[in-house]
């Protein structure tokens, strides 16, 4: 039996976030330029988007380009930008046929006019879709995002529209770029690296983590379904003690 059949449809994670890692190593091991790994990575993106939609995942967030990635060799950055633009055009039928809405989080202003235009067009064309949100983290950095939220809160306090006493986790969460969706239930990272790399630091406080040894271009539907099954086997306690009846009890010191 495949992993799709083993997925409990009643307990599908609402939000899955993925750190797609290993494109460069995948290419290097084949004696290919790193950019070829990213091209192969697009195929995996396509497979996983379809698999997530099929499983009933409501939000899928992909770490497509980190703020730190700008420091990569010029040719690689430029290849990634070209790939992004061609993907936004080429994958439009996939988004429309599957009722997928595209969203972007990150420092969009960092992109060239051509990339910005392609992003805006894709956002507009898919704005009415409701079955799944595909969230691309682009030029994204969690520390940048949290700093932005702090700045916004400070400005509101300075303007007298926010009482500092009312600054709480909900208030901070509302100032993040992810305010439109719930926190990830499951975070997947490929390529065997056991790091978070400045991705959704605030939002993953209680996410379940799943690390796959496979390089991103080799990650497929079956591996994605396996991650969902492993997630469903976990007991999520959110820092509480669960009683025998399954009701939540008091908070422990360890969250
Ligand atoms: C990490 O692999 C991957 C990236 C930096 C980019 C991810 C991009 C794609 C999967 C391309 C398609 C997506 C879009 C939206 C265009 P790495 O290069 O860090 O691999 P390494 O750790 O082996 O060097």
pLDDT grade, residue 245 (50/70/90)?
A: low
Percent of the chain with pLDDT over 90: 91
The closest residue, in CA terms, to atom 10 on ligand 1 is 41
Convert the pLDDT of each residue in 67-93 to its tens digit. 999 999 999 999 999 999 999 999 999
Terminal alpha carbon distance of the chain? 36
Tell me the CA–centroid distance for residue 172 and ligand 1, in Å. 29
Ligand 1 closest atom vs CA 76: 18
pTM (predicted TM-score):
0.94
Order of strands across the sheet that contains 100-105: 100-105, 132-140, 59-66, 15-19, 186-189, 208-211
Residue whose structure tokens are 């056991």: 194
pLDDT grade, residue 249 (50/70/90)?
A: very low
To test the ligand 1 pocket, which listed residue (21, 43, 220) has its Cβ within 8 A of the most ligand atoms?
Answer: 21
Gyration radius of the chain's alpha carbons: 19
Q: What is the mean pLDDT of residues 37-58?
A: 98
pLDDT at res. 240? 87
Encoding tokens for residue 106? 């990150």
């Amino acid at each position: 039996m495949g992993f799709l059949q083993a997925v409990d449809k009643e307990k599908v994670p609402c939000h899955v976030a993925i750190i797609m890692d290993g494109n460069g190593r995948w290419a290097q091991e084949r004696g290919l330029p790193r950019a070829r790994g990213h091209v192969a990575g697009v195929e995996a993106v396509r497979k996983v988007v379809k698999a997530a939609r099929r499983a009933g995942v409501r939000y899928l967030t992909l770490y497509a380009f980190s703020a730190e990635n700008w420091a990569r060799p010029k040719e690689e950055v430029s290849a990634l930008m070209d790939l992004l633009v061609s993907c936004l055009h080429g994958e439009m039928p996939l988004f429309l046929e599957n009722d997928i809405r595209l969203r972007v989080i990150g420092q969009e202003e960092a992109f060239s006019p051509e990339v910005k235009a392609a992003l805006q067009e894709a956002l507009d064309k898919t704005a009415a879709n409701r079955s799944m949100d595909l969230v691309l983290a682009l030029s994204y950095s969690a520390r940048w995002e949290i700093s932005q939220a702090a700045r916004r809160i400070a400005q509101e306090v300075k303007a007298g529209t926010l009482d500092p006493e009312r600054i709480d986790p909900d208030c901070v969460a509302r100032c993040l770029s992810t305010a439109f969706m719930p926190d990830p239930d499951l975070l997947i990272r490929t390529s065997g690296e056991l790091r978070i790399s400045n991705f959704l630091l605030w939002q993953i406080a209680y996410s379940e983590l799943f690390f796959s040894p496979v390089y991103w271009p080799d990650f497929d539907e079956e591996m994605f379904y396996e991650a969902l099954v492993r997630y469903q086997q976990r007991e999520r306690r959110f820092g509480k003690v669960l009683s025998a009846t399954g009701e939540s009890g008091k908070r422990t010191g360890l969250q």
